[in-house]
Structure 1
Amino acid sequence: MANINVMRNLEDFENPRIVKLSDDLYGASFFLMKLLPARFMLERASDQGLLKPGATICESSSGTFGLALAMLAVQYGYNLILVSDWALDRHLHKRLLELGAKVEIVDKPARSGGLQQARLNRLAEYLKAIPGSYWPSQYSNMDNPISYGKIAEFLIERVGKIDCLVGPVGSGGSMCGTATFIRTLFSELNAIGVDTPNSVLFGQHGGKPISLSGLGGAFVPSNVDHTQFDEVHWLTPVEIFHATHQLHRLYGLFMGPTSGAAYKVADWWSRKNPGKKVVAIFPDEGHRYVETVYDENWLSSVPGWPAPVPKEPVAVNAPTQEINVWSAYAWRGRTLDQVLTSQVSTNSHTPPRRVSDSTSLERDLHRQYRATTSTEKARDARLVFLSRDDCASVSHLDVKPEQRQFVDPLYTVFLELQRSSHHENEHPCAVVVCDEIVGFFVLRERDALPEWASSDAITMHSFRIGQPYQGNGYGKATSGLAVDWILSNRQYVNRLMLAVNKRNSIAMRTYLNSGFQETGINYCGPAGLQNIIEFKLR
């Protein structure tokens, strides 16, 4: 086993400097916060035999995680390939090249998933072509949040009891990891995540470019544990840039815009809660932003600059509301599914959980598809086809905490279905037992197929069995129901295909025991490496 001390040359750069901003407000100011998770991931990969000496590290990055990997790679003799896009600023690009990294810029969006998925597709090609290559996958690698246990310990040693932790949310590692560990000592910690409008991390609809590096995202990483957050705040770019300059002018802290965002919210919370200790996470310094955030000419091109900014947030009733000013929502430690589907349930007249002949749910017109299984309860399982407005009907299908990283939030699934231009070839389905909905999945065919599927296939997505219904054989029964429906209704289809996260070993065993076979195809998705499996029908 490798010596875990071999990658500690840069360890002194990992801990933040603690700056007291007022009586009870502290800033945790990092040189480069991503050094810690990058080092921890590489160490763990080395210990597990996934990263060999002199091997090639491959990652998709346009920000500081790529820089952290480059610094570590040059220290310890690894090769590094980074796949990025236009968001990579020229100074960072030049620095990465100076450190010996190979940087490839992708400019053509993927058929689905845009530039983010195009980058991952190119990454998959490198991983396949280079034997022994390693993908850290910061958005799905659980070592990312785990690494921040060190920061939690450091903060407690320096500050003592922490009443509130505030930080920007991107990959989810820093805020979720630090909050998790602090709560082992201080269970009443208030954790506030800072996001920006049009980011989908906490329920905004997305679809528009996000102009802030390191804040928000176009997809929800599996490392974002929504149950860690008590509040979520959204700040506009203009508000964030104002706060970044204020942090510099008032305290001499030359930080990036994500730090300014955290400072603005933490300062507000501290003033509202005197006597409570607040720590704000400041992820990186401002050198990357000299020609943007700290340049008046550039700022003058930002819409709304230099308009006055609010001194406190506007409370919103739902995270899905359109936001164009500093806003806050009481998240209260719930999952993304719980928050978003509660909004749908509140506004919907569709009765959840149960299906009867009088409901508006669309039954299959050809025949009833019932499972053939030895499990008594699962024998009565059948499929009911849903409409794109039936999210409330399946909103009760929460899964176990350890399974959440592998399933898409239901609200997001239905929102994508509503926005899709392939309505005729996308089929949301409920698994029903005794008129009660116990599971859900989506079938896709023809022009709705993902890039990894063959043209003679139907693919299954977003499959889940609700936690109270697990252990009754419904998962295996669902595979049979889907196969039965395809055989009866789609003569051109020769296989049922789906992607299973490589880390989801339990699901993989279940599928293989149900007749699926591995194809040998791997797919890089936002949630990590996926194994493509298939059930051959003919």
Structure 2
Amino acid sequence: MKQPDVIRLDRNLYVLRFEMMKLYSALEAVKRLLADGIVRPGDTLMDSSSGTYGHSLALACHKYGMKCRIVCSTKLDDTMRRQFEMLGAQVDQVEIPPGPLVDKMDQRARLDRVAEILDTEDDVHWMQQYHDDVHYLGYRAGADLLRKEFGDGPLTLVGGVGTGASTGGLTSYLRAAGVDVSLVGVQPFESVTFGSDPVEDPVASIAGIGSPIVMRNVRYELYDRVHWIGFDSAAAATTTLLRRHAVYAGMSSGCNYLAATWEAAHAPETPCVFIAADTGHRYAHNVYARPEAGQDIHALAPRRIDSLDQLAFPWSVMDWRRRGFRPAGAGQPGTVRHKEHVPVPGAVPAPAPHEEVLL
């Protein structure tokens, strides 16, 4: 299930298509934690997730004989919940009343529930997919696959930033192997990760590629360029990816596809690969059912900006130039208690407060 396919869509446009991308990080993370003695067989592994990481962790626990506990949101659909439970995972669903701040409240409520469980129960290990760079390790295999396919570059890699592990892991291993790769990150509006939180998306915030909380696994100095994309544009691109190329994928894949079409057109001699992290089944009744999702993406174009105060809906792009960044509240994202076991190439410590870069 974790093995992706490289599919050529156009002259220099390719998709790295996964059934479930986060299996890479979950399987390798559990394997390493067991090998290092940080967890023991039979312990409970827990994290906050309402989608592919929760599913991946449940599968990894199933494989390695661990107990699994998923703290999830009200967005978890019944089909996914049944899969979690049939794999032996215990599901804690946090209820949040509907409202304009539901996404931010949901994320905080889930982390509060995680903290409560850690304080009151024994033999529970918080996986910290947001903060623990053990999740980088699994992407070595994906980097090897890309290098085998495209050689030593140049290559453009486009992916949703999310926790930072997938784009960061692939790029770290590629660059350590000498591959000339440019990394393009994709973000939703309202995400603190690359500073778009002041810009509201009038439809909805896109889950999975950004967050209202700070994530320590994001290494800002890896990224060459960043795209911010609104919900309607992403929905149009997601359905276009299916209609034009028969790739049935999730909404983050649509965002990446839209950004990658622009990147490929601006560097026609350079292969451009975007990540499709999962299939489209979770989106069948919302994104794929939207009447406006038939919008022609050729009519869409980003606004090129030079600083974050120029961010504008529905699509902006900025040359990041591998700079550091320190989002507001970056000093309080949580605690990672075992960093010494993760030999990821190019690891850079989080900047101290005096190293803040204001863009």
Which TM class, normalised by the smaller chain length? 0.7 to 0.9
Counterpart of 1:275?
A: 269
Aligned to 1:326: 315
Residue number in structure 1 paired with 2:337: 502
Partner Cα separation in structure 2 for residue 208 and residue 190 of structure 1: 28
- Deviation at residue 504 of structure 1 after TM alignment: 7.7
Q: Is the 8 A contact 2:248 2:280 kept in 1?
A: yes
The verdict on how the C-alpha distance between 1:262 and 1:45 changes in structure 2, with shifts beyond 3 A counting, is same
Q: Which residue of 1 aligns with 2:187?
A: 195
Q: 1:500 to 1:173 in 2, by over 3 A?
A: closer
Distance 1:306 1:31 in 2: 24
- Which of 199, 207, 210 does residue 213 from structure 1 map onto? 207
1:311, distance to aligned residue in structure 2 (A): 3.4
Residues 504 and 179 (structure 1 numbering): CA distance in 2 closer, same or farther, change over 3 Å? closer
1:197·1:323 contact (CA, 8 Å) conserved in 2?
A: no
Whether the 8 Å CA contact 1:238–1:306 is kept in 2: the answer is: no
Letter in 2 for 1:255: A
Decide which of 94, 104, 107 is 2:92's aligned counterpart. 104
Does the CA-based 8 Å contact 1:315-1:329 persist in structure 2? yes
Task: Choose from 121, 128, 134 the match for 2:125.
Answer: 134
Q: Do the aligned partners of 2:69 and 2:90 also contact (CA within 8 Å) in 1? A: yes
2:331 and 2:211 mapped to 1: Cα distance? 20
Q: Given the alignment of the two structures, is residue 70 of structure 1 paired with residue 58 of structure 2, yes or no? A: yes
Q: Give 1:114's aligned residue.
A: 105
TM-score, length-normalised on structure 2?
0.84
Residue pair 1:204, 1:320 contacting (<8 A) in 2 also: no
Aligned partner (choices 16, 24, 27) of residue 36 of structure 1? 24
Code of the residue aligned with 1:231 in structure 2: it is R
Mapped contact 1:145–1:176 kept (Cα < 8 A): yes
Asked if 1:144 is matched to 2:126, the reply is: no
Once the 2 structures are TM-superposed, how far is the Cα of residue 242 of structure 1 from its aligned partner? 1.0
Matching residue's letter, 2:244:
L
Question: Do the aligned residues in 2 keep the contact of 1:190 with 1:229 (CA within 8 Å)?
Answer: yes
Measured after TM superposition, the shift of residue 87 of structure 1 is 2.5
Query: Is 1:252 the equivalent of 2:246?
Result: yes
Measured at CA, do residues 334 and 214 of structure 1 come closer, stay the same or move farther in structure 2, by a change above 3 Å?
Answer: same
- Higher RCO structure (Cα 8 Å, ≥6 apart): 2
Equivalent-residue separation in structure 1 for 2:306 and 2:117 (angstroms):
45
Cα gap change, 1:203 to 1:45, in 2 (>3 Å): same
Matched, 1:161 2:149: no
TM (normalized to structure 1)?
0.57
In structure 2, the CA distance between the partners of 1:320 and 1:149, relative to structure 1 (3 Å rule), is farther
Q: Which moved more, 1:307-316 or 1:116-125?
A: 307-316
Aligned 8 A contact 2:240 2:294 in 1: no
For 2:119 and 2:105, the matched residues in 1 are separated by 22
Where does 1:10-409 land on structure 2 (aligned, <5 Å)? 13-107=1-95, 114-162=105-153, 163-186=155-178, 188-206=180-198, 211-295=205-289, 299-300=290-291, 309=297, 310-337=299-326, 409=327
Go from structure 1 to structure 2 and tell me whether the alpha carbon gap of 1:501 and 1:50 turns closer, same or farther (over 3 Å shift). Answer: closer
Find the residue that maps to 1:334 and give its secondary structure: coil
Please tell me whether Structure 1 or Structure 2 has the larger radius of gyration of its CA atoms.
1
- CA separation in 1, counterparts of 2:336 and 2:267? 43
Q: What SS is found at the alignment partner of 1:183? A: helix
Aligned residues: 331
Cα RMSD after superposing both structures: 2.6
What's the CA shift for 1:78? 2.0
By how many angstroms is 1:500 displaced? Answer: 6.6
Contact map agreement 1:198 1:206 (CA 8 A) in 2: yes
Shift of 1:237: 0.9
Q: Is contact 2:252-2:276 (8 Å) kept?
A: yes
In structure 1, C-alpha distance between the alignment counterparts of 2:182 and 2:316, rounded to whole Å: 17
Percent of matched pairs sharing the same residue = 31
Shift of 1:169: 1.1
Distance, in Å, in 2 between the alignment partners of 1:170 and 1:74 is 25
Q: What secondary structure sits across from 1:279 in the alignment?
A: strand
Deviations 1:93-140 (A, max 9, x none): 23212222211111259xxx7332321222123233332222211111
Find the aligned partners of 2:9 and 2:15 in 1 and give their Cα distance. Answer: 7
In 1, distance between residues paired with 2:60 and 2:268? Answer: 41
Q: CA deviation at 1:290?
A: 1.3
SS at match of 2:248: coil
Unaligned 5+ segments in structure 1 are 1-12, 338-408, 414-460, 464-498, 506-526, 528-538
